[in-house]
Chain A
Amino acid sequence: MMNSMNKLIDEIRVTLKPLEILVPADRQIACIVEPGEVHRALAYLKSSGFAQLSILTCVDWIEDGEFELVYILMNWNEGIHVQLRARIDRNEPVFNTITHIYPGARYYEREVHEFFGIEFKGNEDSYKPLFLERWDAIPPLRKDFDPQAYSDSKFPMRDRDRVFKSRIGGTEDERS
């Protein structure tokens, strides 16, 4: 199996000319490419047996001012995962859809748009809300989002207007 991994790594290196290739764990390959290369790389990987898009997600590198899109693909014949990573500009979070290569990405792109605010051109659905019902702040998984402040403003503490008797074992006292 190591042979097929090495063969695959060599193939990827020759065909895609990635910036870097890592092997983060057994039977996993991480492949870092330029954002413009993503569509060509996905089309190539799909044609060479990576039929399943396991997930599309995103990482917010706020210090570098970049969003890193991560496409995880799975080959069911070999049992190998490939991560395709590409960094885009954080101030201009726009990318092209991959729904014409992997139609299942329709909902993943919608999720990434909801949680990170990245727009996917060509996927009309990606602007609609998916999980968060009636969200009214900046996308919550961006690093500059402050969950504590949001929680405090949205779910404030009770103003102590009901008395609960606390009871431990047999004893009882009142606190308010």
Chain B
Amino acid sequence: MVLDNKDTRNIWEKIGDFFSANSIWMKWYCTGCGAIEMPPTMTSRFDMERLGMGPMATPRQADVLLITGYLSTKTLRRVIYSYEQMNSPRYVVGFGSCTINGGIYYDSYATINQLDKYLPVDLYIAGCMPRPEAIMNGFNTLIEMIKKGEANGWRHYQENYDWYKKNQLESLGEVIIHDEFHE
């Protein structure tokens, strides 16, 4: 199930990817400590608006779901709802070592270890936490990947939905929770 990165896009998709690459709206899912790295990236020192990136208020409006740090099983359920509310093409960026292999929470009973089993991660930014320089570098990479048509995670999610759903259900039991706090 290795991702096929052959460029099979037609001219309209290439133009569309050019626009997508230069206008990245992000939904910050501030789950962990990484959220605090975003304000310096946004403000005058690093100024991510130069690259056309900006925060958006809701998942519907956003292109990139930014997972900033560890995810508890409880949070992962909400992240999956948010991801499924987004419109394609959509990208997921995992932040810091907690999303890669669990980080310092590798043996926690409440946090998941590897995000890309549950959601199609396009790009990981390593670090604990990654500094704004690393974030800017990471987003430059994402922009290049979108331009070349390599950021195909959303397509991978559509094509391998059963595999992702199986992993989600194995770890979470059920994605949409039914208890006294949720109708």
**Complexed CA–CA distance, A162 and B3 (Å):** 7
User: Which 6 residue pairs are nearest across A and B when measured between Cβ atoms?
Assistant: A134-B173, A148-B107, A155-B113, A147-B109, A161-B1, A140-B109
State which residues 68-121 of B face A: CB under 8 Å. 73-74, 77, 101-102, 106-114, 116-117
**In contact, A161 and B2 (Cβ under 8 angstroms):** yes
The answer for the CA separation of A68 and B174 in the assembled complex, in Å, is 34
| Partner among B101, B108, B116, B173 whose Cβ is within 8 Å of the Cβ of A136 | B173
Check B177 for interface membership: any CB of A closer than 8 A: yes
B100 to chain A, nearest CB (A): 9
Once bound together, how far apart are the Cα atoms of A133 and B73, in whole Å?
Answer: 8
- CB of B108 within 8 A of CB of A147, answer yes
On chain B, the residues within 8 Å of A148 by CB distance are 107
Instruction: Give the chain B neighbours of A140 by CB distance below 8 A.
Output: 109-110
Please state if A147 and B107 are interface contacts (CB–CB under 8 Å): yes
Q: Is the CB of B114 within 8 A of A157?
A: yes
Minimum CB–CB distance for B114 against chain A, Å: 5
CB pair B2–A162 under 8 Å, yes or no, is yes
A158–B171 CA distance with the chains assembled, in angstroms: 13
- Other A-B pairs, 6, CB within 8 Å; known A147-B107, A151-B108, A155-B112: A137-B109, A158-B114, A162-B3, A163-B3, A164-B124, A176-B2
- Tell me the complex Cα distance, A20–B73, Å: 42
Contact call B141/A163, Cβ cutoff below 8 A: no
B106 adjacent to A151 (CB under 8 Å) = yes
A129 touches B179 (CB 8 A): yes
- Rounded to whole angstroms, the CA-CA distance of A155 and B111 in the bound complex is 9
Interface set of B (CB-CB < 8 Å, partner A)? 1-3, 73-74, 77, 101-102, 106-114, 116-117, 124, 141, 170-174, 177, 179-180
Chain A residue at smallest Cβ distance from B73:
A133
Bound-state CA distance A150–B177 (Å) is 21
Task: List residues of chain A with CB within 8 A of the CB of B114.
Answer: 155, 157-158
Specify which chain A residues have a CB less than 8 angstroms from the CB of B108 in the assembled complex: 147, 151
B113 x A157 contact (CB < 8 A): yes
Selected from B74, B106, B112, the residue in CB contact (under 8 A) with A133 is: B74
Which A residues are CB-close (under 8 A) to B1?
161-162
CB distance from A72 to the nearest CB of B (A): 24
The distance from the CB of A152 to the nearest CB of chain B, in whole angstroms, is 8
A1 to chain B: closest CB distance in Å? 38
Q: Least Cβ distance of A156 to chain B in Å?
A: 8
Task: For the complex formed, measure the closest distance between the CB of B140 and the CB atoms of chain A, giving whole angstroms.
Answer: 10
CB closest residue in chain B, given A141 = B109
State whether A162 and B116 are in contact (beta carbons under 8 Å apart), knowing that A150-B109, A154-B171, A167-B141 are contacts in the complex.
yes
Give the chain A neighbours of B141 by CB distance below 8 A: 167
